[in-house]
Amino acid sequence: MSGSYHDDENEHPSAWGPHDWSHGAPHNSWAPIIMSIGIGIFLYTLASAYSWGEMVDSSGISLAFIGLIISFFGLTVWWRQDASFDGTYEPRATGTPFQNIQIRKVAMWVFLMSEMMVFTALFSTYMRYRLGLTPCVEIYESGSWIVNSQTIDSGEAVNCFLPASELIASSWFHIAPGAINTFALIISSFTIVQALRWAKKPVGSVDEEVRRKRVYRYLGSTWILAIIFLTLKMVEWFIGFYIPEIAFLGIQEHDIASLVNEGYTIHADHYHPHHGWDDGHLAELAAANPGEFTAYFANIASLEGNYEPTNAVMMADIRVSTSTFFVTTGTHGAHVLIGIIGLTYMTWKAWMGRYTPKNAVSIEYFGLYWHFVDLVWVLVFPFFYLY
Domain annotation for the chain: domains and CATH numbers: 1-89 (no CATH), 104-132+163-274+315-387 (1.20.120.80), 134-156+278-312 (no CATH)
| pLDDT score of 309 | 77
What predicted TM-score, i.e. pTM, was given to this entire model?
0.87
pLDDT > 70 in the chain, percent? 91
**Confidence at 12, pLDDT banded by 50, 70, 90:** low
State the Cα–Cα distance between residues 281 and 138, nearest whole angstrom.
Answer: 15
Rg for the chain, CA atoms, rounded: 27
Concatenate the DSSP letters of all residues of 259-295 into one string: HHHHT--TT-SSB--TT--BHHHHHHHHHH-GGG-HH
State the Cα–Cα distance between residues 360 and 354, nearest whole angstrom.
Answer: 9
* Lowest model confidence (mean pLDDT) among 24-28, 253-257, 319-323: 24-28
Is a pLDDT exceeding 60 seen at residue 153? no
Comparing 16 with 250, the larger pLDDT belongs to: 16
- Residue 104: closest CA among 124, 129, 82, 123: 82
- pLDDT tens per residue across span 49-97: 877 667 777 778 889 999 999 999 999 999 988 888 888 888 888 878 8
What lies within 8 Å, CB to CB, of 328 at 6+ separation is: 119, 122, 123, 126, 380, 384
**Confidence at 13, pLDDT banded by 50, 70, 90:** low
Distances (CA, A) of 365 to 86, 104, 303, 315: 15, 8, 65, 49
Q: Are 310 and 279 in contact (CB under 8 A)?
A: yes
Is a pLDDT exceeding 70 seen at residue 356? yes
- pLDDT tens per residue across span 29-61: 888 899 999 999 998 898 888 776 677 777 788
| pLDDT score of 5 | 41
- pLDDT tens per residue across span 328-337: 999 999 999 9
State the Cα–Cα distance between residues 177 and 173, nearest whole angstrom.
Answer: 8
Distant-in-sequence contacts of 138-144, Cβ < 8 A, 24+ apart: 139/314, 139/316, 140/277, 140/282, 140/314, 141/282, 141/285, 141/293, 141/295, 141/296, 142/295, 142/296, 142/299, 143/279, 143/282, 143/286, 143/293, 143/295, 143/296, 143/299, 143/300, 144/295, 144/299
Average pLDDT of the residues in 191-216: 94
- Residue 278: closest CA among 152, 134, 148: 152
Other Cβ atoms closer than 10 A to 324: 23
Cis link prior to 309 (omega < 30° from 0)?
A: no
Distances (CA, A) of 154 to 57, 157, 299, 301: 32, 9, 19, 21
- Residue 265: closest CA among 227, 230, 316, 314: 316
Main-chain dihedrals φ then ψ at residue 246, nearest 5 degrees: -120, 90
| pLDDT score of 305 | 64
Is a pLDDT exceeding 70 seen at residue 184? yes
Query: At 88, which helix (H) or strand (E)?
Result: none
* Lowest model confidence (mean pLDDT) among 241-245, 298-302, 369-373: 241-245
**Confidence at 254, pLDDT banded by 50, 70, 90:** confident
- pLDDT tens per residue across span 205-248: 999 999 999 999 999 999 999 999 999 999 999 988 877 777 66
Average pLDDT of the residues in 345-360: 93
Average pLDDT of the residues in 126-133: 94
Q: Are 255 and 240 in contact (CB under 8 A)?
A: yes
Is a pLDDT exceeding 90 seen at residue 3? no
